[in-house]
Amino acid sequence: MLSLKRITLRELRLPLKEPFQISSGTQTERRIFLVLLEDGDGNHVWSECVAPEFPNYTAETIQTAWIAIRDWVAPRVLGVSFPAPDAVHMVLDKNFRGHNMAKAAVEMGLWGLAAVIRERPLANLLGGTRPTIATGISIGIQSSPAALVERARVAAAAGYRKIKLKIKPGSDLQFVGAVREALPDAPLMADANNAYTLADADTLAKLDPFGLVMLEQPLAWDDLVRHATLQKRMTTPICLDESITGVERAQDMVTLGSGRIINIKPGRVGGFTSSLEIHDFCSKRDVPVWCGGMLESGVGRAYNVALASLPGFLFPGDLSPSARYWEKDIVAPEWTMDHNGMVTVPTGPGIGVTVDVNRVDNLTVKKEVVGAK
């Protein structure tokens, strides 16, 4: 039985090694939101809420997620006995709309806690089958095509198996074209984070000759209908990120033809049970999925890596090593990637990394305990 006695919320700040720019904004540091889950038997696990600083990705932010976990998620799980972690999603879903990243932090943490208690690797508990996972990089918008080419060359040389270029109107065709010319055979893709409308369909169709593996979320975050229209007007497969918040949206994507690939971020879809539903549905319908990232710390990465070890994750995940983001991660061992762009799935019990609690203490700017003191 899984039963939580206490949930501790913490916010810490980690400066990014270099600014990360997407179409909707630039960030220079990450406000990291960690939760510590404890049961009554002395077991604990760390989890991460990946909600961003501003509501420019989906509606959630680190502040809304804090309130949601403290006031609505925690009361539904504290002291409740769950036979298995797959029972948590339903409890958080019923008459409780949205707030997926808040729900996911606790739901995924309960999967992590189950892995700790059963002394099994999290990946194994989820049904993972791969010992190593191919890794992709997400490169932020750069000041010029030449600067982007330089970044992409370095990434290709480091072994990354997929190179994602962030784009926005004005930083698109020339930028992607320059990288394609420099790296004729590289597996390239682009991610627009909602920056376009259907009025841009002709421009977006001009990406087709670059042979991108996919174009991620070109249109609005909650729009499946216009993505279907756009997909008919271009040959590059559309991959949906922001728009897929649960298995029903994945089904809608297939029904409408809004895209052909899904980026699963477990935080965005409300946790692991929802991720598994999407994964299983997509596997049946031959829709490839892959695991995206939210610039999470090494804690959140542990959960993503475990999920990405499932068989339907057919494209490299945005699972860059710790050193790409941070001077020093908050976990040991730090996440690494080998020269072939592979990350190793931990084989020890639990989430596979240990949190540096002293360091977390030193970096914490806000802390709140919910449940038994």
The residue (of 121 and 217) whose beta carbon lies closer to Mg ion is 217
Under rule CB under 5 A, residue 191 binds Mg ion? yes
Q: Minimal CB distance to ligand OSB: which residue?
A: 293
User: Has 5 been annotated as catalytic?
Assistant: no
Give the pairing type, strands 331-332 and 44-49: unpaired
Query: What mask, x for binding Mg ion by CB under 5 A, covers residues 196 to 225?
Result: --------------------x---------
CA distance 108 to 307: 10
Which of the choices Mg ion, ligand OSB, none does residue 57 contact, using the CB cut-off of 5 to 8 A by kind? Answer: ligand OSB
Q: Minimal CB distance to Mg ion: which residue?
A: 241
Tokens of 103: 């729900």
The residue (of 85 and 352) whose beta carbon lies closer to ligand OSB is 352
The residue (of 191 and 277) whose beta carbon lies closer to Mg ion is 191
- Three-state DSSP class for residue 368: strand
Question: Considering the complex, what minimum distance in angstroms separates the CB of residue 291 from ligand OSB?
Answer: 10
Question: Considering the complex, what minimum distance in angstroms separates the CB of residue 123 from Mg ion?
Answer: 23
Question: Considering the complex, what minimum distance in angstroms separates the CB of residue 188 from ligand OSB?
Answer: 14
- Sequence-separated (6 or more) residues with CB below 8 Å from residue 169: 195, 196, 200, 203
The residue (of 43 and 64) whose beta carbon lies closer to ligand OSB is 64
Catalytic residue (one of 103, 162, 166, 168)? 166
Dihedral of CA atoms 72, 78, 83, 88 in degrees, nearest 10, equals 20
CA neighbor of 115 nearest in space, from 181, 183, 45:
45
The residue (of 12 and 192) whose beta carbon lies closer to Mg ion is 192
Question: Considering the complex, what minimum distance in angstroms separates the CB of residue 320 from ligand OSB?
Answer: 5
Which of the choices ligand OSB, Mg ion, none does residue 317 contact, using the CB cut-off of 5 to 8 A by kind? Answer: none
- Sequence-separated (6 or more) residues with CB below 8 Å from residue 95: none
CA distance 211 to 265: 25
Question: Considering the complex, what minimum distance in angstroms separates the CB of residue 243 from ligand OSB?
Answer: 11
- The contact set with ligand OSB (CB under 6 A) reads 22, 57, 138, 191, 193, 241, 292-295, 318, 320
Under rule CB under 5 A, residue 241 binds Mg ion? yes
Query: What mask, x for binding Mg ion by CB under 5 A, covers residues 97 to 116?
Result: --------------------
Under rule CB under 5 A, residue 172 binds Mg ion? no
Amino acid occupying residue 73 = V
If you search the block for the tokens 């791969």, which residue do you land on?
130
User: Has 373 been annotated as catalytic?
Assistant: no
CA distance 369 to 373: 7
Tokens of 13: 């700040």
DSSP E strands in the chain: the ranges are 2-22, 25-39, 44-49, 81-82, 132-139, 162-166, 188-191, 215-216, 238-240, 261-264, 289-291, 317-318, 331-332, 342-344, 354-355, 364-371
The residue (of 56 and 354) whose beta carbon lies closer to Mg ion is 56
Tell me which residues are annotated as active site.
Answer: 166, 265
Provide the binding-site residues for Mg ion, judged by CB under 5 A.
191, 216, 241
